[in-house]
Amino acid sequence: MDPYFFNPQYLDALEKAGPFRALACFQCRKCTNGCPLTFAMDLMPDEVIRLVVLGEGERVLRSRTLWVCSSCGTCSTRCPNEVRIAELMDHLKETALKEGVPCPEPEVLLLHQSFLKQIKKRGRVFETFLLPSYTLRSGLWRKSWKEGTWLRELILGVKMAQKGRLSWRPHRTADRAGIERAFSERDKGPSQSKGPSL
Amino acid sequence: MEWEKRKCSYYPGCSLQGTAKDYARSIGLVLDALGIEAVEIPDWNCCGATAAHSIAPKTAVTLAGRNLLSASALPYKELLVPCPLCFNRLKAALFALHGENKGRYDLTLPEGIPQIFDLADFLAQGEFLDRITQGVRHPLKGLEVVCYYGCMAVRPPEVTGAREVEDPQSMDRIVSALGGRPIPWPYKTDCCGASHALARRDLEEELVQKILHKALRSGAKAIVVSCQMCQANLDMYPLRAYKDPAKARALPVLYFTELIGLALGLKGIEQGLKQHFVDPRPLLRELGLLP
């Protein structure tokens, strides 16, 4: 990699997909200093921005950082230059999926997907189905079986039910067409420009 | 006390029909007591939550936008949203659909979208804060708490419209009005890990532990929240922290609406307290706030 390589087209496409202002970053690292999840990240938030500016999109799209980010928005809020980092992270996640980049946090991705599937099906989320079905499908149940923590997981579920914190009846949105329409947006991509491609 | 009735639109969100039924019940009791009639917006759908904006940002805007469209069918000027994540997603949709890139979306918002309020913020406003103050029958004397706001009610301020981003005050004002003592502390808006509670529990536990630890160090006897996701994460932590039981510190985690209900002496508020994992009733009895 040539460290001085600069790809204005990449950045241009990215900023059009935005509004993000990666180029406005002056590396003050307020985003990284305020981020609660840096301990689990392989690239610091300021490094994500820098790499994007340098045209090193691929390294960013492969990073764990995108998926362990909890979207708390502290970075965007404290950024003095309105880079809109959290929104940029979302865009990069979407791009990584479109480009077929393997996700380093498959459990996180599966949670998002299972959640969206529920919305697509009912218009609303039915937690009583989502929680156990996700735990089984993600392999997290098997993991807790191996680690011997499955009983605690089971007790947790039973306690939730005992405490009356689970609903036994799914709720639905009647307007199916409206929900479908929201999901058909996904495949069209931004109408003004296509996101950056690798 | 009888107040002049005020009608507002209301968006409950999915959790309040499920894992946060206790929150929903206390909100119903409190709004009723304060003379607010909350009218659910017709045929609402999920706001999209973290999942939608993470992997399908356009869908996130149109899903939440559809709710704004439904809300515009009602004649009320205010839309009350108790869940901060729903509040945030609805505000973000409004921001996108009114912003410079609105042409990207198939959805066009009509005139007459009501003003979107975070419920805690709405009730901490002049008129309703007065009603709360005047309605107090059992002041929460001796109740020292930290108010924990989480991320979504405040960030980012250009979307949420929050004026106090790093040190929000709405719940603190309400607790003071109820006769309790809100303790100033630095972790009001630190992230609880949210949905990582399912996918990456190790990360969520790390964050929750920090918050609980700081709350204890601040001298709080309970944590007051307005977000059911924060409530669940903080409240269930002691049950889940099986790897290191020594780390499992317990503090009752109460919804601000439950405190209003207690102070106003509303019947039926106790019911929801039983649904918490860390039982707040011993503390409340000790302070003479529950029989």
Q: Burial of A39 by CB count in 10 Å (0-12 exposed, 13-18 middle, 19+ buried)?
A: exposed
pLDDT of residue A25: 95
Q: For residue B1, what pLDDT band results from cuts at 50, 70 and 90?
A: low
Per-residue model confidence as pLDDT tens digits over A141-156: 999 899 888 888 888 8
Q: For residue A194, what pLDDT band results from cuts at 50, 70 and 90?
A: very low
Per-residue model confidence as pLDDT tens digits over B29-86: 999 999 999 999 999 999 999 999 999 999 999 999 999 999 999 999 999 999 999 9
Q: How much is the CA Rg of chain A, to the nearest whole Å?
A: 20
Tell me the C-alpha distance between A141 and B33, whole Å.
44
Nearest to B50 among A71, A152, A188 (CB): A71
DSSP string, A38-56: GGG-SS-HHHHHHHHHTT-
Residue intervals in chain B for CATH 1.20.1050.140: 6-120
Mutate to test the interface with A, among B15, B17, B55 (most CBs of A within 10 A): B55
Mean pLDDT of the residues in chain B: 93
CB–CB contact B52 A173 (8 Å): no
Strand blocks (E) in B51-173: 78-81, 115-118, 144-148
ipTM over 0.90 threshold: yes
CB–CB contact B156 A71 (8 Å): no
pLDDT of residue B246: 52
DSSP state of A198: -
Q: Which long-range contacts (CB under 8 A, 24 or more apart) does A116-122 make?
A: A116/A183, A116/B51, A116/B52, A116/B55, A116/B56, A116/B59, A118/B46, A119/A179, A119/B45, A119/B46, A119/B48, A119/B51, A119/B52, A119/B63, A120/A179, A120/A180, A120/A183, A122/A170, A122/A171, A122/A172, A122/A173
Taking contacts as CB-CB distances below 8 angstroms, the residues of chain B near A165 are 18-22, 275
Give the gap in angstroms from C-alpha B145 to the nearest C-alpha of chain A.
23
Taking contacts as CB-CB distances below 8 angstroms, the residues of chain B near A105 are 199-200
Taking contacts as CB-CB distances below 8 angstroms, the residues of chain B near A116 are 51-52, 55-56, 59
Per-residue model confidence as pLDDT tens digits over A30-84: 999 999 999 999 999 999 999 998 888 889 999 999 999 999 999 999 999 999 9
Query: Which residues, at least 6 apart from A182, have a Cβ–Cβ distance to it below 8 Å?
Result: B59, B62, B63, B65, B66
CATH of B6-120, one of 3.40.30.160, 3.60.40.10, 1.10.510.10, 1.20.1050.140: 1.20.1050.140
Pick from B181, B187, B165: nearest CA to B121: B165
Question: What's the CATH number for B139-286?
Answer: 3.40.50.11810
CB B106 within 8 A of CB A185: yes
Mutate to test the interface with B, among A65, A67, A72 (most CBs of B within 10 A): A72
B2 to A1, B272, B283: CA distances (angstroms): 72, 24, 31
Which residue ranges form the domains of chain A, and what is each CATH number?
8-98 (1.10.1060.10), 106-187 (no CATH)
Residue intervals in chain B for CATH 3.40.50.11810: 139-286
Per-residue model confidence as pLDDT tens digits over B169-206: 999 999 999 999 999 999 999 999 998 999 999 999 99
pLDDT of residue A155: 87
